[in-house]
Structures are given as structure tokens and as C-alpha cells.
Amino acid sequence: MALVLHAGNTNKNGFKALIAAEYNGVKIELAKNFEMGVSNKTPEFLKMNPIGKVPVLETPDGAIFESNAIARYVARLKDDSPLYGSSLIEYARIEQWIDFSSMEIDANIGRWLIPRLGFAPYVPSAEEFAISSLKRALNALNTHLASNTYLVGHSVTLADIIMTCNLYFGFARILTKSFTSEFPHVERYFWTLVNQPNFAKVLDDVKQAETVPPVQSQKKPSQQPKEPAKPKEAKKEPKKEAAPKPKVQETVEEEEEAPKPKPKNPLDLLPPSKMILDEWKRLYSNTKTNFREVAIKGFWDMYDPEGYSLWFCDYKYNDENTVSFVTLNKVSGFLQRMDLARKYAFGKMLVIGSEPPYKVKGLWLFRGTEIPQFVLDECYDTELYEWSKVDISDEAQKERVNAMIEDQEPFEGEALLDAKCFK
């Protein structure tokens, strides 16, 4: 039989196994017509997990419950899978971070969020303790990730999958940007991983919570089925309050089915520019020879200082860039998160130096005369760089722009480790 996962399609604990399956090439089917609160209360389900919790994985050898156990099973289905490391010490460290993720990250996010949603008593002192414990854990994780791209080794392991799924629950529901900005390496790690193809297939479009949920009154399910007042209300037919209820529900459903169109980006409302960004990107991509004479000259012929602006950026923490692949991954993650500006920007990022610490410098062309506000608001990496506007009346600055577009080496007297383009 095929592997069947009993869980809703938005269950972050089910995501752990699904992402591991993507890495191992394992086929997992979601149980058809699964309905939380109904499907997991049936006698058939309770035979697989007596307490009715999800997820549960059906296998040819029987059912498995508990999400980390399910993920471990899927990770080991492929003999040569890297998800469990390549040595005994890596295996132990993967297990270490799985436990840390569950007990220090996931548990404290739950202790903060669940009472606010009304599923447990809300006690301010308990919330304060949960937040303090979560910050302590995230600070430890942030310190580890300052010099590591992944939790263990040099590629994704099961530890990264489980950690990311637990962080996903927090980022999506309660960990706002103002909270996570205290942990920039955790942010970089999370956004880098959720944009990896095997994660993205399962998680789709990940958005960070904008606000902390307000405290809701505690839910009391036992009161729902009794409905003692209904017979009395039935006698009072003329009462007008009952009639509008279906209309309110219909209105809500209609709004959900037909959401309001997104407001236009302010950059779309700027006066037309003589510079067509796509034309410059095509010229850059198609110029293979005589780059200075063709592409660079073409850039300045097209450039419109009233409709566009040029910016240099310099990474603030170059002394941390002691490992080449970690530094390159930082830059790649930055460019992935800048994807929201692809329609309005062109960029070059240079990693400079033949030995550590490596320097990261960039050049960006933005629509408008300032860095777009939505870029500053939504791409946290911008805070990690010093930004300075290019003065095109200064020939030295213009020549620096040319050198960066061209990937000139040596650049400012140093070797180029790598050059990446955003277009």
C-alpha cells in the first residue's frame, strides 16, 4: 500500500514528513476528505492513534503517530539519504537539534499562542515566562546560525526540516517582524529554507504575521451542543434579530471568495520614465563581448535619474564572514528575498576577498528616487547593509558603478570570490 498521511493540508506537523518525502523521493498521499474533529474521531482512526491526535502515517507495516517519529521514518526510507548525516556525531547532533526544536522552540511558541486563541487559560505571568523562554532559545539558535548555514553539516538534514516547520508555525501566527528582527541569523535561516524548492512545494507562499493575535475568551466546547435557548426562540417568530444572521454569513463568504483587489504599488503610479528596466536587463543578459562599449554605454544612455536611482550597499558585519559558503549563502538568501522587487529593481552583489573575512558589497538600481518603502519594510536584509545613494555627477562613483556592473576583477584592489546578479 502507499503511504497515507492523515492530517489536514495546513498542518505544520504533517509538513515535516511531506518535506522529508520530497528530499527522499518518497510518495506520500494525504488521506482523502480528511476533516479535523471528525475524521480523527472515527473508530478506524482511533485504532491507529488511541488519543485521536494528528498526524498519523499509514504504512505497509502499520500506523505511526507523533510527527517527529513519522518524519524520522520517512527520512530513513532511503538508504543513502543525507537527511540523517554521514557520521555518528552528525546523527547525534541532528537528534539534538530535533529535541531542541520541539522542547525549546515549538513548546514556547505554543505556550504563547494557544492561550491567546482561547484554547487554554490566559495567564499574563505564564505568557511572560513563555516569551522569555522563547527568546532565550532563539538567541541560542541565532548564535549557532551566525557561523552555520544549516544546523548540522553543509546541507539540509531532518533537523532543519523539523526546525523550519516549527518556526513556520510561529512566523505565520505570532512572531512579527519587530520580534524576530532581534535574531537576524534566525530570520536569514528561516527565509532561506522556506524558499528551497522542496520546502516551497509543501509550504507554498509563506507570510510573516503582522500582529500578535489579541487575547480571545476561552473556548468552552461543552456548551456548544446543548443550545438550551433554541426552543424558546422558535416560538418568537416575529423577532427580527434572527433573520439577518444568514445574510451576515453570506456576506462573509462572499468577501472570502472574492477578495478586494490589492492596491497598486506606489511605484506603478510614478510618471513614465524613459528608462525601460526590461530593456536594460535584456541588454545586460545578451551582451557577451565588448561589455564596456555595448552594455555599460547602453546603461548610461538609458539611465533616467528622475525615474530611477542608484545605490551602493555595504554589509555591516563583514568581520562575521569567515566561511566562504556561509557568506555566499547569505547573499543568495538576500537575493531570494528581494524577489518581491523584481519588477522594480536590478542589482549586483559582489563577495570580495581571497581569504576571510570576506567583504560583501552591492549596487542596486531602483524605480523611483529613493529605496522603495515596501523593500525596506518586507526584506529584513536591507537593515544589515549601509546604503548610500550614488552621485552620478562624481566620475569616481560612476566608474565604481561600471566596475560593479561589469564584475571587474580585481575590484578595488581585491580578488572577487563571486558576483551575483539580480535581474
Domains and CATH numbers, the chain: 3-75 (3.40.30.10), 82-203 (1.20.1050.10), 269-422 (3.30.70.1010)
Q: Is the pLDDT of residue 143 over 90?
A: yes
Is the model's pLDDT at 219 over the cut of 90? no
Does residue 1 have a pLDDT over 80?
A: no
Q: Can you give the pLDDT at residue 255?
A: 34
The verdict on pTM exceeding 0.75 is no
pLDDT for 362? 97
Which three cell numbers mark 134?
522563547
Residues 6+ apart with CB under 8 A from 325: 149, 154
What's the average model confidence in pLDDT over 212-229? 63
Higher pLDDT, 80 or 357: 357
Q: Which of 205-214, 247-256, 290-299, 341-350 has the lowest mean pLDDT?
A: 247-256
Report pLDDT for 263.
Answer: 63
User: What is the rounded distance in angstroms from the CA atom of residue 343 to the CA atom of residue 364?
Assistant: 13
Beta strands in 278-381 (DSSP E): 308-315, 345-352, 359-367
φ, ψ at 306 (rounded to 5°): -90, -25
Residue type, 403: A
Question: Bridge-partner residues for 298, per DSSP?
Answer: none
Least confident range of 128-142, 281-295, 324-338: 324-338
Q: Is pLDDT above 80 for 249?
A: no
Across the range 117-145, mean pLDDT stands at 93
C-alpha cell of residue 33 = 476528505
334 neighbors 391 (Cβ within 8 angstroms): no
Please compute the mean of the pLDDT values over residues 255-261 and round it to a whole number. 41
